Amino acid sequence: MKELLVATGNAGKVRELEALLEGTGITLRSLRDFPHLPPTVEDGDSFEKNAIKKAREASAGTGLPVIADDSGLLVAALDGRPGVYSARYAGDGCSDADNNLKLLGELVDVPMSRRGAAFRCVIALCFPDGGCRTFGGELHGVITDEPSGDGGFGYDPLFMVPEYGMTLAELPLEVKNRISHRGRAVAALTQYLLENPF
């Protein structure tokens, strides 16, 4: 049985990645099994750099192949912010609710026609010998003017998917996973693993 460690401390990501990798024959390990692994300092200026750093450090520290996800929200009217700072947009240790409140505040005078945004996800796959590959995915949508729905995590209650007329937090997880930035990145990863078994 192939084992992959998922190096993330975000419970929402773990839920989605577990569902997305179900049935692939891969057993997922979590950081809970490695409580002494120090957290990675995410100081890269791109999703790629941060994803590789997280996966490479965890792989070196455990001797396992590792996947790590770095992702975030890019809002056009904010010149691509919060981007790589999405997790701590409202400050260190902030909650998803704090981030959503700050986003609504920054967009308060921006009309719906200019509230386009995209989620981006980069997944890095790294091996103990230091070798890494990355896989990316994006989802485009619109930032609503009030939160709606209680599924998902992060900015999902504010992220309207026009094709469905619903926010990501209103869509069932299997629909989110089919269309999302993370779902697309995982599809590219599983295709690669199928062609290049480890």
Does the annotation mark 70 as catalytic? yes
- Considering only residues 182, 183, 184, 193, which one is a binding residue for ligand ITT as defined by CB under 6 A? 182
- The radius of gyration of the chain from alpha carbons, rounded to an integer in Å, stands at 17
86 touching ligand ITT, by CB under 6 A = yes
Query: Pairing state of beta strands 66-75 and 2-6?
Result: parallel
Q: Which is nearer to ligand ITT, 70 or 170 (CB)?
A: 70
DSSP result, 93-147:
T--HHHHHHHHHHHTTT--GGG-EEEEEEEEEEE-TTS-EEEEEEEEEEEE-SS-
For ligand ITT, which stretch binds (CB under 6 A), given 7-15, 20-28, 105-113, 188-196? 7-15
DSSP 82: B
Query: With respect to ligand ITT, which residue has the nearer C-beta, 45 or 109?
Result: 45
135 binds ligand ITT (CB under 6 A): no
Q: Is 103 exposed, middle or buried (0-12, 13-18, 19+ CB in 10 A)?
A: buried
In the set 17, 69, 117, 177, which binds ligand ITT (CB under 6 A)? 69
Which positions touch ligand ITT (CB under 6 A)? Answer: 8-10, 13, 42, 69-73, 86-87, 99, 119, 152-156, 168, 180, 182
